[in-house]
Amino acid sequence: MKPQTIAEKILSRAAGRAVIADDIVEVAPDWCFTVDDTIGTVIRYHRDAGVTRLAMPSRIGIFCDHYAPADSAEHASDHGRGRRYAAEHGIAHFFEVGQGISHQICVERGLILPGDLVFNSDSHTTTLGSVGCFGTGLGAAETAYVWACGKIWLRAPPTIRITLEGRLGPGVDAKDACLALLQAHGARLATYCAIEFCGPGAINLDIAGRMTLCNMGVELGAKTAFFAADQVTETHYRALGFSIDVRRAQPDPGAFYAREITLDLSAIVPMVACPHTVDNVHAADSQGRVAIDQAFLGSCTNGRLEDLRVAAHILAGRHIARGVRMVVTPASSVILAAAMQEGLIQTMIAAGATITTPGCGACAGLHLGVLGDGEVCISSSSRNFQGRMGNARASIYLASPATVAATAVAGFIPDPRKREKVLF
Amino acid sequence: MRIAGTTLVIGDDVSTDLLYPGRYLTVSDRAEQATHALEGFGADWPARLRGVAVLGAGWNLGCGSSREQAATALLAAGIRLVVARSTSRLFFRNCINNGLPVIADEALANAVQTGAWLEADLAQGIAGHAGQLYRFSPLPDVLLAIVREGGLMARLARVARENAA
């Protein structure tokens, strides 16, 4: 058989036949999840179409993350409809308000395994490629269709291979690597393609860093983004008590790649994506004195324990600037509990930050940090489109957790590697 | 499958936040969704869709969030065809799977920037615009079949009816 990329390998298994890039095939996913902002539509579609039985209830999960706790009666009713539907149809997983963001929960609990094909009605499902899953987003009608039929059409993506070299320097984050890729190649680099991150630098990135890179794969246009399963993946699953088959999520030698790109991690500096596009990227220290009103630390891109540690380290013994507010939203309850255990939450509160319920938080622009007219936010999330954080008259800069924390303290965007100089 | 009408033109990298702002995600009524289509550009934009059948766009149309209202609001506002230089994967899927055909073709997308009357035969891959004839790759048959049926939910309803009969 022809050597296959990870994407071709996983889709071949899901389609029950050998698949190569650009084939349109019908696939049966291992999982099909949805989140609270889509569940109401899925249920309504089923009712309207006369669907009474689900094809795969044991492979379905519903996550309350986009507006949890509910910020309105309508959203609370969506949660209620989801709970009742899950109970009526024997849906395997219902993740309650406060448990966290779907992608974070999937990885940190080992819900999904390397080599799985996973759908979720959320564009950042690419995050799951960090553990070798083919994770990709679906719309509401598609999700309703999969829940009813257990399968759907998919176009097998060509793959772009990004070879990582070296190691990130101090004060530089996987987020800066994402922003560097966006700066160098633009937001259309991988439209309708898969990305495989590989090379000697991959081993230097932990699961958290891999999640950030795969998460922002969708900002490069990718359908899905992978790290091949390796010893980092095995260690992650072993700690959770699972043994995995890494071969399910590894490419064949000689697989065909549509494009090859090299990224030297050691050459990357702190970056910011300036308003209003994700690829309007510049070095963080090149922006002059951009004053900010809000700093947001959270999201499926950068709301993990590793991110909170970096921020708390910068905030320790300091206070955020006058007139600035800092909103911290851990990506899951597991992260929140661990951050409390480590004293990170106490440090951040002492510095003047506020901590919210775990979930998507301010990123989706629905609650917990919506911006005011003319305001400027620096955010560790993944999107700065006009209107993204709930106000078309506000501006969003995207940056790493370190840059977000250093900015909150300074009141304007500094280079986090030079924070001592900036602060005193 | 033939579609004809006037075109409204938008630019490159138009995100779903611009096509359909997140604060209206709870709106399920399609007629009400239509009143918010393109509202991210400004309050006067939904009205510009009146009498328009074709949305013309640049590169990377519908980047960002997976929200399918970006497609269904356009449908409800009367859009019957999207012509773009390229589209995001999720937006493309949401259009096709809700019965809104998409032509991703650079030459045709460049031509429709004038906003004039466009006629397209989706199965044949032929379009006429301002006296010029254009050829484009037609959608694969399996996707054209979904569009013809009115989207995946129409298909699901048919299957449910057949199973009940």
Concatenated DSSP letters of A307-341: HHHHHHHHHTT--PPTT-EEEEE-SBHHHHHHHHH
Q: How far apart are the first and last CA of chain B?
A: 30
Res B114: pLDDT: 82
Q: Do B160 and A191 touch (CB under 8 A)?
A: no
Q: Do A221 and B88 touch (CB under 8 A)?
A: yes
Residues of B (76-95) whose Cβ lies below 8 Å from A = 86, 88-90, 92-94
Which residue in chain A has the smallest CA separation from B151?
A: A141
3-state secondary structure at position B162: helix
| Residue A233 amino acid letter | T
Average model confidence (pLDDT) across chain B: 95
| A392 interaction partners in chain B (CB closer than 8 Å) | 21, 40
Res B163: pLDDT: 81
Q: Are A199 and A164 in contact (CB under 8 A)?
A: yes
Closest CB from A49, A192, A385 relative to B160: A49
Which residue in chain A has the smallest CA separation from B20?
A: A387
3-state secondary structure at position B48: helix
Q: Do A387 and B64 touch (CB under 8 A)?
A: no
Indicate the DSSP class of residue B23: G
Half-sphere exposure of A158 (CA within 13 A, CB side): 11
pTM, two decimals, is 0.96
Res A288: pLDDT: 87
Q: Do B90 and A137 touch (CB under 8 A)?
A: yes
Rounded mean pLDDT of B36-51?
Answer: 96
Q: Using a CB–CB cutoff of 8 Å, tell me whether A387 touches chain B.
A: yes
Q: How close A262 gets to chain B, by Cα (Å)?
A: 24
Residues of A (313-352) whose Cβ lies below 8 Å from B = none
Q: Are B69 and B20 in contact (CB under 8 A)?
A: yes
Residue ranges and CATH numbers for the domains of chain A are 9-265 (3.30.499.10), 271-423 (3.30.499.10)
Q: Do B142 and A153 touch (CB under 8 A)?
A: yes
Size of interface A-B (CB pairs under 8 A): 131
Closest CB from B26, B71, B90 relative to A75: B26
ipTM rounded to 2 decimals = 0.94
pLDDT tens for chain A, residues 1 to 424: 899 999 999 999 999 999 999 999 999 999 999 999 999 999 999 999 999 999 999 999 999 999 999 999 999 999 999 999 999 999 999 999 999 999 999 999 999 999 999 999 999 999 999 999 999 999 999 999 999 999 999 999 999 999 999 999 999 999 999 999 999 999 999 999 999 999 999 999 999 999 999 999 999 999 999 999 999 999 999 999 999 999 999 999 999 999 999 999 999 999 999 999 999 999 999 988 899 999 999 999 999 999 999 999 999 999 999 999 999 999 999 999 999 999 999 999 999 999 999 999 999 999 999 999 999 999 999 999 999 999 999 999 999 999 999 999 999 998 888 755 544 3
Which residue in chain B has the smallest CA separation from A39?
A: B26
**How many C-beta neighbours within 10 Å does residue B145 have?**
11
Residues of A (72-111) whose Cβ lies below 8 Å from B = 72, 74-75, 78
Predicted confidence (pLDDT) per residue in A382-421, tens digit: 999 999 999 999 999 999 999 999 999 999 998 888 755 5
3-state secondary structure at position B145: helix
Q: How close B64 gets to chain A, by Cα (Å)?
A: 7
Q: Choose from A72, A122, A218 for mutation: most chain B CBs within 10 A.
A: A218
Res B143: pLDDT: 97
Q: Do A385 and B64 touch (CB under 8 A)?
A: yes
Cis peptide before A276 (omega within 30 of 0): yes
- Report which of A373, A400, A397, A179 is spatially closest to residue A288, judged by C-alpha positions: A397
Res A423: pLDDT: 46
| A142 interaction partners in chain B (CB closer than 8 Å) | 68, 93-94, 97, 152
Res A424: pLDDT: 35
Residues of A (145-204) whose Cβ lies below 8 Å from B = 145, 148-149, 152-153, 187-188, 191-192
Nearest-angstrom CA–CA distance, A266 and A177: 10
Which residue in chain A has the smallest CA separation from B94?
A: A139
Q: How many Å is the Cα radius of gyration of chain A?
A: 21
A71 Cβ contact partners less than 8 Å away, ≥ 6 residues apart: A366, A367, A368
Q: Give CA separation, A265 vs A24, A167, A395, in Å.
A: 35, 5, 28
Q: Choose from A48, A182, A191, A396 for mutation: most chain B CBs within 10 A.
A: A191
Domain ranges (residues) in chain B: 2-164
Q: How far apart are the first and last CA of chain A?
A: 63
| A187 interaction partners in chain B (CB closer than 8 Å) | 13, 60, 63
A337 Cβ contact partners less than 8 Å away, ≥ 6 residues apart: none
Which residue in chain A has the smallest CA separation from B16?
A: A385
CATH code for residues B2-164? 3.20.19.10
Q: Choose from B72, B93, B159 for mutation: most chain A CBs within 10 A.
A: B93
Record the tokens describing residue A74, joined without a space. 């309508």
B149 Cβ contact partners less than 8 Å away, ≥ 6 residues apart: B99, B155, B158
